[in-house]
Amino acid sequence: MTALSALFSSADILVVDDNPVNVELLMDLLEDEGYSTVEGMTDPLQVEARVHKKRPDLILLDIRMPRISGLELLELLTKQWGEQTPAVIVLTAQIDEATRHQALQLGAQDFLTKPFNHIEVLQRIHNTLQLQRLLSERMKKADLLESLVTERTRELKILSRQDPLTTLPNRHVILETITQLRSEEKELLTFFIALEGLDEMGRLHGYDIMDQALCALSVHVQQLTDLPIRLLGVWSTDKWVVLCESIVSDELAEQIALRLLGVIQAPLNVQQLSVHVRARIGVSGSSAERNAEQMVRMAAVALPAVDSQWQGYDQTLENSLWRKNQLSDALYAAIDNNELHLLYQPKVDVLTGAVRGVEALLRWDNPVFGRVSPAEFIPIAEANCFIVSLGKWVIQQALAAIVRWRAQQAVDDHFTVAVNVASAQLMEPDFAAWLIDTVQQAGLPTHALEVEVTESGLMQDIPLAMRQLHSLAAAGLGIAIDDFGTGYSSLAYLKNLPVSVIKIDRTFVSEMHTNAQDQRLTSTVIDMARHFQFSTVAEGVEEIEQFKLLKMMGCDLIQGFLFAPPLKENIMLQLVSTGFADTPAFTES
């Protein structure tokens, strides 16, 4: 027995020939070679039942037989079994080309010619079995691959509908669920939840802690079984959506929103750490004209600006968002379209009435929206990171103005122009170098420009802000702390800042003539500034009584409507030339 024969010794071989002698001859030959499963048949009509009972690996099939020919039997098997038809070697004493071609068309793999050559018979059988074995292995591999692909497709379909971290339903499922519930005419409240503080948590404790906190948070929300929650899903990593099947009412929306805020903002214990997540929630209710995407979008529009708050959607929010987006688009083109200009508010010497300097204030006149308040467009510029470009434009315009005024001898060498610098500008690593270089290229002494920064603007990155301000101060630029007392006032950092001016916020000045507490606070700030050898500027001065108190306290400069609002250049220069010594504020004091 050859090694090849041993490999196929268990092959199931069926010999079909109406001549018993041929059947016996082939069976003996195969059994002598070591094949253990060989069966012979002389009645071709029994073959079909045998194949149904047990499909053989190989059929040795005679062509010319009574009742049904080998070709007819092969055609019948092929129709019934298709690709699963057993391998067939045709047995024939003599065969014409047409019959041979027909046999091959019906799927016959090979031919054995009578009388049989034993060596040829065994080799052709071996070749056919080996071919079938290879085909079978390939089919098994193909089936396995198809099975794996099917399973992976199923897994991917599941994953395509899940958030990869929390395994919560994703936005596709959220929209699908809303659509389904609305088709069932269910009333829904959609809660769009903005999770705050995640990045800080990741930077402070590691992003693995942040991920675990999100997973724990999802479990806690899902445990709110007393709420009519139909779905908790993830819109994006820090934006979640809760769908509640509920009557649409402000009262129920408030109850659910407050409950969600309470659970989300409760301390989370993660790896022996207690961490917190803050949240804001916008709410929208279902209505006939709102589709799934609109319900989510409206809830997102309703997000309040302040943490720990919730807000329901209404049309005014939509209008506000539309205006904000339109203004944002228009603001990018405002510089090129010459829509921006500067106004200048005088800073008046408390003792002499002379104008010692001005604050440059940005204004925007748009052909569509008209005069747009800085309180509206500055936050838009900050949110869109356009404030850096805008701030550079203001500085360049202010420097160009100082150059003009000095050339006209409209101001003296000590006259200063103050410009506001946003926190985003301070966070630009090369800001100080750029500003110093820009002032010098304008041909101006650096003390002609004063930089106003807010306390909150320093907090984003105190070390970087300190480096920037020290560079500016070392070059001779004045540094003013704007809105002093309203933010993070701290003597610990104030003593280290290269500050030359403290600006007293209008919130302390506006009622100081009627409020003793405001008087004490303002007086304390002025005394402290004097000890630090800072100059003081009081903002928002509108009443003579306020001016008298500030003068008595020792404030250095006054800025406010008592003397002048922000002015166009020509009018401001007229006031610089005359001063305010002859105004009632000075003549009556």
Q: Which residues are catalytic?
A: 539
Q: How long a stretch of residues is the chain?
A: 589
Nearest CA among 399, 477, 472 for reference residue 438: 399
Q: Is 534 left (phi over 0), alpha (psi -120 to 50) or beta?
A: beta
Alpha carbons 564 and 48: distance in angstroms, whole number? 110
Amino acid at 546: Q
107 three-state secondary structure = coil
CA distances 503 to 251, 351, 485, Å, are 45, 17, 9
- Residue in the block written with tokens 């047995």: 91
Torsion of CA 497, 503, 504, 509, to 10 degrees: 180
DSSP 146: H
Task: Find how far residue 236's CA is from the centre of its chain.
Answer: 6
Show Cβ contacts of residue 324 under 8 Å, excluding neighbours closer than 6 positions. Answer: 380
The Cβ-side half-sphere exposure at 489, using a 13 Å CA radius, reads 15
H-state helical runs in 384-461: 387-407, 423-426, 431-441, 455-458
Cis check: omega of the bond before 115, within 30 degrees of 0: yes
Alpha carbons 437 and 66: distance in angstroms, whole number? 109
Are the C-beta atoms of 243 and 177 separated by less than 8 Å? yes
Alpha carbons 251 and 312: distance in angstroms, whole number? 11
Are the C-beta atoms of 25 and 116 separated by less than 8 Å? yes
The alpha carbon dihedral of 274, 275, 280, 285 has a sign of negative
User: Between β-strands 355-366 and 370-372, what pairing exists: parallel, antiparallel or unpaired?
Assistant: antiparallel
Show Cβ contacts of residue 164 under 8 Å, excluding neighbours closer than 6 positions. Answer: none
Give helix 171-183 / helix 292-301 axis angle, nearest 10°.
120
State the DSSP H helix or E strand holding residue 538, giving kind and residue range, or none if neither.
strand 535-539
Alpha carbons 2 and 8: distance in angstroms, whole number? 10
State the DSSP H helix or E strand holding residue 471, giving kind and residue range, or none if neither.
helix 462-474
Are the C-beta atoms of 448 and 417 separated by less than 8 Å? yes
Strand partners for 15: 40, 60
Alpha carbons 288 and 298: distance in angstroms, whole number? 14
Are the C-beta atoms of 440 and 395 separated by less than 8 Å? no
DSSP 162: B
Q: Which phi and psi (to 5°) does residue 444 adopt? A: -110, 150
Alpha carbons 235 and 249: distance in angstroms, whole number? 24
State the DSSP H helix or E strand holding residue 188, giving kind and residue range, or none if neither.
strand 188-196
